[in-house]
Structure 1
Amino acid sequence: MAVVASAPGKVLMTGGYLILERPNAGLVLSTNARFFAIVKPLYEEIKPDGWAWAWTDVKLTSPQMSRESMYKLALKNVTLQCVSSSDSRNPFVEQAVQYAVAAAHAAFDKNKKELLHKLLLQGLDITILGSNEFYSYRNQIEARGLPLTPEALAALPPFTSITFNIEDSKAENCKPEVAKTGLGSSAAMTTAVVAALLHYLGVVNLSSLTKDQDQERDTTDLDIVHMIAQTAHCIAQGKVGSGFDVSSAVYGSQRYVRFSPEVISSAQVAAKGLPLEEVIVDILKGKWDHERTKFSLPPLMTLLLGEPGTGGSSTPSMVGAVKKWQKSDPHKSLDTWRKLSEANSSLEVQFNMLSKLAEEHWDAYKCIIDICSRLRPDKWLEQASEPTQEAVVKALLGARDAMLGIRYHMRQMGDAADVPIEPETQTRLLDATMNMEGILLAGVPGAGGFDAIFAVTLGDSGSNVTKVWSSVNVLALLVREDPCGVSLESGDPRTIGITAAVSSVHI
């Protein structure tokens, strides 16, 4: 019986850099790009002498990378050993398997442990698949002589093989880098594997979590998935990040404040040899103090992402440079962070105001958004014919001003730290985008750099943006906001042919 779980990628709209430190918040949107994990037994039945075995087999397949790895899992101390060629190892999945199995050991009494033992002796067959939206197919589209349009992306088959960035000929031995779009594939993958395994092993029951139901989710089981995925992801990464990417992969779109890094300190010690089962108890009982508030884009607004194709940026090195600047100029950096934090809060206030107006005065809200979607922002205010519409337009303009403030302070920070947070090419592109009809705001997501740009559009104005972007060599992606977090799927996504392109985008 196969278990299929999926978890979404993310776009960090506000909170770049600040989100690394409590109590700064970030607004993170989960997307329709999803990572899938399929878990099933490797063998039909346990071999007769299976009971004596101290090991079981784990097979990990990544069809998009044409990779298959075999592992031995020690049943006593839950450690994985790779027995196939080491260049295909995936530390995120390895940690996810170890922590999920350890969580099952820690959660079960003697009877349940025997059942768990039987289940594990059948081996674990794990397949991982990422939506096309996580990866860059720009080079393939260009190589085929096709235009850089969403239609060209939508024509690719689901779960297309992944291309690697062109290797630098000078560095003979460097590993080829997968060309990505910056949606947090490692966090979504780790979360999907942890969720599928915990459900398969009976630690949590995620049956009520299917994407079709927009019910208020009971978070007890999700909280377990979150703690395990967060820990596995940090250990695989070799550092404790802010965790917003894992949190949105588990719970969906949200306003997020990070957890105190100490909560997973025992796991960092475990990396040096403490038994995992003890660590996991610590993790699950730890004081997880992150904050998560419901948040998503107001109605009739669409998130658009564009890939400028100037090559990716390294987030860790940019973060390092900003931290160095903070140490060297604490007075100036504190001032910039305070102003940036105020602009972030202001954007959040305006968005919440717009959601509230939509809820309470839908007709007036819909009418004015519809009008504004066809006009440039400087013409919006004169269209409001009554107080509610005026309130909507003022909130829209307030959100724009907040975004311009965020961009200004991010650029200041980049200049001071000497890193391209909003490079000049992006600035010109974002300014041009923000002056188009029906565009609420535009910016660089997350830590900035050359990876991607995003825009929030009103009504049906998005198609103009994709045309303009295409004309300046920016590929509009098929990514949209989908506020839903981790979910169980009803079957293998390859047989159902799930692709974000088909299911949610009408081009």
Structure 2
Amino acid sequence: MAVVASAPGKVLMTGGYLVLEKPNAGIVLSTNARFYAVLKPLYDEVVEVEWIDVKVNSPQMSRETAYKMSLKDFTLNCSSESRNPFVEYAVQYSVAAAYTTLDKIKRSKLQKLLSQGMDITILGCNDFYSYRSQIEARGLLLVPESLAALPPFTSITFNAGDSNGENCKPEVAKTGLGSSAAMTTAVVAALLNYLGVVDLQCSGKDQKGENSSDLDLVHMIAQTTHCIAQGKVGSGFDVSSAVYGSHRYVRFSPKIISAAQEAVCTTPLDEVIGEVLKAKWDHERTKFSLPPLMNLILGEPGSGGSSTPSMVGAVKKWQKSDPEKSKETWDRLSEANSALEAHFNLLSKLAAENWDSYKSVIDSCSMHKSEKWMGQFSEASHVEIVKALLGAREAMLKIRCHMRQMGEAAGIPIEPESQTRLLDVTMDTEGVLLAGVPGAGGFDAVFAITLGDSTANLTKTWSSHNVLALLVREDPCGVSLESGDPRAK
């Protein structure tokens, strides 16, 4: 009885850096790029044991890791060199959550299930990784069709230089979609469902379970796992979108997880996890997705990814050294973020109220550069829609300007010059509403929002500038139970 769960990657459209501090909000879009966790028993027979076997497979990285896990205190012993802390903590915390939440009868069933061992396979969509070098090596064009021709879950080659295997880094750069958060969430969801702690059904895809306590439980364990595995309490927007899909996010108080981090050393793990589940999680989540007929598209410039933690560190250092100037920049950035959100909400409202006018404006604007949009219309209802489009565009230009100022002041490339040139060209393409660097910025993939059927224009423009348009699109759905192993599709 295999359980397969999946969780999406993300694009933080607004709220880079600000989302680290309450009450600043960020708009995070979940995508159709998903991580999958396939979980099944290792053995057919049930044997009473104190230590269970856990096997973790990552076929894309040609890795298999074997563990023994104590059912007494959830200690994991590993016999392999290659280890993945995100998966290890996911296993320990999910099993501890099962012990702390299930009643006596269910716990004896749990004991039998665990005694059969666990076989976990992890698979990530190709979009999480850069395959540019493979495409170029094959002499193919830098177009989405070349990406689509790669087999699903293509293997990620490792550097041959380091022979001990321990410090092997994937040769393939990441695209910045939040692979560790999506992977952690998928593994936690599969484990909690398999162990009978939650019942996710197949409703995650259409978000019927949006307010369900089961999703909240997955969220609490996935956030705790992710923060403790990476050694710091981040803002958590990436895990939140992996669980709930696209939304407007305000972070939780860090003390919820930092208290658990401290308690782990002295308190039994099931008690620590019990406290995490009882804690007052005070994050805020408001429904948000792109207005109709708008498309999220990502372009990979091929300049390699960026280290978010070191960039965040530089911004924090600048805030301490120049509190007055940094507060002024943050306030302006926050205003511009709110303005963009307001324009998007207005566009969604106008689409709902007068679909025909909305569709005709989007169709027309998709064929022209932004400076020609207003000249197409004279009817009041049409003009109102164009004004909202241009307002969103203006807000994005302000966001980019303040992000650049922050980068210059902190001495880091939030919107590097090469990205600025690329984004300017992007925003000057027919049918492009706006473009920016997602999240913390740097050299990861850039994003754009296109109108109607204009995505092909942008793909062509990007290709001529040596930028590879990825296959990623917005998909507002969060964590989901799948009907089977994605490799069988």
The interval holding the TM-score normalised by the smaller chain is: over 0.9
- Shift of residue 208, structure 1, vs aligned partner: 4.2
Unmatched tracts of structure 2, length 5 or more: none
> Of 288, 294, 297, which aligns to 2:287?
294
Does the C-alpha gap of structure 1 residues 167 and 402 become closer, same or farther in structure 2, counting only changes over 3 Å?
Answer: farther
- Shift of residue 271, structure 1, vs aligned partner: 3.9
Question: Do the aligned residues in 1 keep the contact of 2:204 with 2:477 (CA within 8 Å)?
Answer: no
Give the aligned partner of residue 65 of structure 1: 61
Q: TM-score with structure 2 length normalisation?
A: 0.97
> Of 130, 138, 144, which aligns to 2:138?
144
Question: Do the aligned residues in 2 keep the contact of 1:347 with 1:402 (CA within 8 Å)?
Answer: yes
> Of 456, 460, 467, which aligns to 2:460?
467
Give the aligned partner of residue 36 of structure 2: 36
Give the aligned partner of residue 129 of structure 2: 135
> Of 313, 319, 329, which aligns to 1:320?
313
Question: Do the aligned residues in 1 keep the contact of 2:203 with 2:209 (CA within 8 Å)?
Answer: no
Letter in 2 for 1:70: A
- Shift of residue 453, structure 1, vs aligned partner: 0.5
- Shift of residue 175, structure 1, vs aligned partner: 3.1
Letter in 1 for 2:328: D
2:76 matched to 1:80? yes
Does the C-alpha gap of structure 1 residues 443 and 164 become closer, same or farther in structure 2, counting only changes over 3 Å?
Answer: farther
Count how many residue pairs are aligned between Structure 1 and Structure 2: 488
For residues 483 and 392 of structure 1, the distance between their equivalents in structure 2, rounded to whole angstroms, comes to: 23
1:245-260 counterparts in 2 under 5 A? 245-260=238-253
Question: Do the aligned residues in 2 keep the contact of 1:266 with 1:282 (CA within 8 Å)?
Answer: no
Per-residue displacement from partner, 1:374-411 (whole Å, max 9, x unpaired)?
01111111212322211110100000000000000000
For residues 226 and 214 of structure 1, the distance between their equivalents in structure 2, rounded to whole angstroms, comes to: 15
Give the aligned partner of residue 201 of structure 1: 195
Question: Do the aligned residues in 2 keep the contact of 1:304 with 1:477 (CA within 8 Å)?
Answer: yes
Give the aligned partner of residue 186 of structure 2: 192
- Shift of residue 167, structure 1, vs aligned partner: 6.5
2:336 matched to 1:343? yes
Provide runs of 4+ in structure 1 moved above 4 Å: 164-169, 171-174
For residues 375 and 173 of structure 2, the distance between their equivalents in structure 1, rounded to whole angstroms, comes to: 45
Give the aligned partner of residue 226 of structure 2: 233
Root-mean-square deviation (CA), in Å? 1.6
For residues 146 and 227 of structure 2, the distance between their equivalents in structure 1, rounded to whole angstroms, comes to: 36
Give the aligned partner of residue 502 of structure 1: none
1:54-453 counterparts in 2 under 5 A? 54-83=50-79, 85-86=80-81, 88-164=82-158, 174-177=167-170, 178-211=172-205, 213=206, 215=208, 217-453=210-446
Give the aligned partner of residue 501 of structure 1: none
- Shift of residue 176, structure 1, vs aligned partner: 2.0
Tell me the SS of whatever aligns to 2:315.
helix
- Shift of residue 435, structure 1, vs aligned partner: 1.1
For residues 265 and 313 of structure 1, the distance between their equivalents in structure 2, rounded to whole angstroms, comes to: 26
For residues 159 and 338 of structure 2, the distance between their equivalents in structure 1, rounded to whole angstroms, comes to: 37
Letter in 2 for 1:3: V
For residues 279 and 10 of structure 1, the distance between their equivalents in structure 2, rounded to whole angstroms, comes to: 29
For residues 370 and 55 of structure 2, the distance between their equivalents in structure 1, rounded to whole angstroms, comes to: 54
Percent identity for Structure 1 against Structure 2: 73
Tell me the SS of whatever aligns to 2:449.
strand
Tell me the SS of whatever aligns to 1:13.
strand
2:486 matched to 1:490? no
Give the aligned partner of residue 505 of structure 1: none
Give the aligned partner of residue 12 of structure 1: 12
Tell me the SS of whatever aligns to 2:329.
helix
Tell me the SS of whatever aligns to 1:346.
helix
- Shift of residue 432, structure 1, vs aligned partner: 1.0
Q: TM-score with structure 1 length normalisation?
A: 0.94
Question: Do the aligned residues in 2 keep the contact of 1:303 with 1:455 (CA within 8 Å)?
Answer: yes
Question: Do the aligned residues in 1 keep the contact of 2:204 with 2:478 (CA within 8 Å)?
Answer: no
For residues 158 and 406 of structure 1, the distance between their equivalents in structure 2, rounded to whole angstroms, comes to: 36
Letter in 2 for 1:254: H
For residues 198 and 385 of structure 1, the distance between their equivalents in structure 2, rounded to whole angstroms, comes to: 56
Question: Do the aligned residues in 2 keep the contact of 1:167 with 1:176 (CA within 8 Å)?
Answer: no
For residues 263 and 65 of structure 2, the distance between their equivalents in structure 1, rounded to whole angstroms, comes to: 24
Question: Do the aligned residues in 1 keep the contact of 2:202 with 2:482 (CA within 8 Å)?
Answer: no
Letter in 1 for 2:135: I
Question: Do the aligned residues in 1 keep the contact of 2:6 with 2:479 (CA within 8 Å)?
Answer: yes
Give the aligned partner of residue 503 of structure 1: none
Letter in 2 for 1:67: R
For residues 216 and 357 of structure 1, the distance between their equivalents in structure 2, rounded to whole angstroms, comes to: 27
Question: Do the aligned residues in 2 keep the contact of 1:165 with 1:179 (CA within 8 Å)?
Answer: no
Letter in 1 for 2:481: L
